[in-house]
Amino acid sequence: MLPNPLIPGFNPDPSIVRADDAYYLVTSSFEYLPGIPVYRSTDMVTWEHVGNVITRPEQAGLENVSTNGGVWAPTIRHRDGVFYVIVTIAMSSRGCVVFTATDPAGPWSDGTTLEGVGGVDPDLAWDDDAAYVTYSGFMLNGPEAGRHKGIQQVRVDLEAGKALEEPRPMWSGTGLKAPEAPHLYQRGDHWYLLIAEGGTERGHSVSIARGPAPEGPFVGHPANPFLSARGTNRPIQNTGHADLVSTPDGDVLVMLGMRPLGGLQSFSPLGRETFATSLTWVDGWPYAEPVRLAPRPGTEEELFRFADATVLAGPGWLSVRATPAETATVADGRLSITGTADLDHPHVRFLGRRQRHMTSTFTTVVDARSGKGGLASRYDEHHWFALEAHGTTITAKAHLAGLAQSWQIEVPPGEIELRIETSPPPAAAMGEVTGGDRIRLYAGDTLVTELDGRYWTAETCASFTGRVTGMYASGGTVSFTDFRYTGRES
């Protein structure tokens, strides 16, 4: 049985490919840099974050993208020794872009924009004669912005960066809302068109059709949608946006899903994560096993000491609309961040990592004698909580949708350890069972405040991301001696 989540934490819209006896998986990254994490495995069980596709600002142009804009739904494919990632960079001048590399760990090309390809969620496939881009016709720009044209397809010239024809409408599912995330595969005498429908919320579903050629015509699976958690109390909900890979043990479907907490399964602190399930084929149609929760046992620990600048080159760091190297500097065993704006600003100086477990602890030691900043957990500019140090004052802040509350304590001069702990809601009174996880903010050994985590979840924030927790500065220069993460599942 595969572990589930397969890739925990903020890792939505997975796409996977097998090449050279290894599996490579990419996910969306939205307004964060570096963009498009690349994960590698040789057994589909143990995964390593080996790099990112977008490591240079000019590859994506995210400086002014809105929250929830940026890097949407990449597809990774391999052909003739070259890896391809095709992606929509939403609310950016780049549009639909194809990146290439011979090593998935990078470096990747600057990318080629495909003129004449609109919409989102592009897929890339080839037959003997042409390359095809199949995509969701949800229009982001121009006079048709906001219109959804269903699944569409064009033949493209990848080297010239242009479509070779006008888009053609494709099979678009069973009639559920938001047909998206198409992937096209050849299997035997058939071409299969896999899509998501039902929206990325609780109705999210996976459907498939088959036909004689990449252009179709396509006939839908008689059991569509053949994967969905809608109307169930399974611990993994919102299952959809899937991709297919063959393994020596059979075919596997990877997809996004969420782990809502509480008796009513209402709040998902980690957002959309990557999950997997097995497939069987009957009469040329796939049938999926339900997506079962199987978290990895034990405790995961990470400790980062800032001996030199190479620590910022590690693939797991994230900054907002800027690279980690643009956000922080490392010298004399300390990481320093200079900031001029708070966490509600789109260009806050923030350096963090994904929260990957329901029970987690983030810790750092901060010196804020020359500035203001500390440790924060962010969903977006409107939803975040933080421990902010300024001189001898520690302020815990909680911001959600324009509402704000704060708590202050005084501490001795000098460095102070800041800590954010999260844990699932207790199985106690109904009011707690229906709530979110518990969040505790500590300065040294002092509990500054405890929060109900339902207000910083995918359902409440309506962001496509997840919790990212890290170091920041909102004024002056703040320095940090280390950064620690500990996580486990109940």
Give 20-89 as a DSSP string.
Answer: TTEEEEE---BTEESEEEEEEESSSSS-EEEEEEE-SGGGT--TTPPTT-EEEEEEEEEETTEEEEEEEE
- 41 is written with which tokens? 């495995």
**In this structure, what CATH number is given to the domain that contains residue 28?**
2.115.10.20
* 180 part of the active site: yes
Average pLDDT rounded to a whole number, residues 465-470: 97
Question: Could you tell me if residue 391 is inside a domain?
Answer: yes
Whether residue 4 lies inside any domain: the answer is: no
Of the residues 254, 288, 322, the one at which a domain ends: 288
Could you tell me if 67 and 35 are in contact, meaning their C-beta atoms sit under 8 angstroms apart? no
Statement to judge: residues 275 and 305 lie in one domain: no
Tell whether 232 and 304 lie within a shared domain.
no
Confidence of residue 434 (pLDDT cuts 50, 70, 90): low
The whole-number pLDDT of residue 92 equals: 84
For residue 240, being part of any structural domain is answered with: yes
Q: Report which of 384, 436, 422, 432 is spatially closest to residue 267, judged by C-alpha positions.
A: 436
Give the range of the structural domain holding residue 44, as residue numbers without chain letter. 15-288
Query: Which pLDDT score, from 0 to 100, does residue 268 have?
Result: 95
User: For residues 317 and 93, which has the higher predicted lDDT (pLDDT)?
Assistant: 317
Give kind and range of the element (H or E) at residue 279. Answer: strand 273-282
Which of the residues 13, 121, 273, 380 is marked catalytic?
A: 13
Same domain membership, residue 306 and residue 158:
no
Same domain, 73 and 179: yes
432: three-class secondary structure by DSSP: helix
pLDDT digits (tens, 9 = 90+) for 321-361: 999 999 999 999 999 999 999 999 999 999 999 999 999 99
Residue positions counted in the chain? 490
Identity of the residue numbered 148: H
Tokens of 216: 């179709």
- How many domains in the chain? 2
- What's the mean pLDDT when you consider all of the chain? 95
At 3-44, the pLDDT tens digits run 999 999 999 999 999 998 999 999 999 999 999 999 999 999
Whether residues 356 and 452 share a domain: the answer is yes
Residues 97-101: contacts with CB under 8 Å, at least 24 apart: 98/124, 98/158, 98/161, 99/36, 99/53, 99/54, 99/59, 101/53
The pLDDT value given to residue 430? 52
- Residue 2 domain-assigned? no
* DSSP annotation string for 118-181: -SEEEEEEE-SS-EEEEEEEE--SSTTTT-EEEEEEEEEETTTTEESS--EE----SS-S--EE
CATH number at residue 411: 2.60.120.200
Decide: pTM greater than 0.75: yes
- Pairing between β-strand 205-211 and β-strand 190-197 as defined by DSSP bridges: antiparallel
Q: What is the mean pLDDT of residues 136-145?
A: 83
- Among this protein's residues, is 13 annotated catalytic? yes
Q: Could you tell me the pLDDT band of residue 433, with boundaries at 50, 70 and 90? A: low
Residue 224 and residue 361 share a domain: no
Residue 246 lies in a domain: yes
Same domain for 360 and 381: yes
95, containing H or E segment:
strand 95-101
Residues 277 and 311 in one domain: no
Q: Is residue 5 part of a domain?
A: no
- Residue ending a domain, among 247, 262, 288, is 288
Q: What is the pLDDT of residues 173-198, one digit of tens each?
A: 999 999 999 999 999 999 999 999 99
Strand-pair category, 131-138 with 112-113: unpaired
334 - beta bridge partners?
331
**Per-residue pLDDT, 11:** 98
Say yes or no to pLDDT of 142 above 70: yes
- Tell me which of 255, 288, 321 is where a domain ends: 288
Residue 9 belongs to some domain of the structure: no
Would you say residue 1 lies in a domain? Answer: no
Residues 83 and 197 in one domain: yes
Supply the pLDDT for residue 428. 56
List the catalytic residue out of 180, 381, 437, 489.
180
Is pLDDT above 80 for 308? yes
317 lies in the same domain as 264: no
Residues 365, 419: one domain?
A: yes
Position 143 scores a pLDDT of 79
Do 274 and 208 fall within a single domain? yes
Short-list 347, 357, 343, 359, CA closest to 397:
343
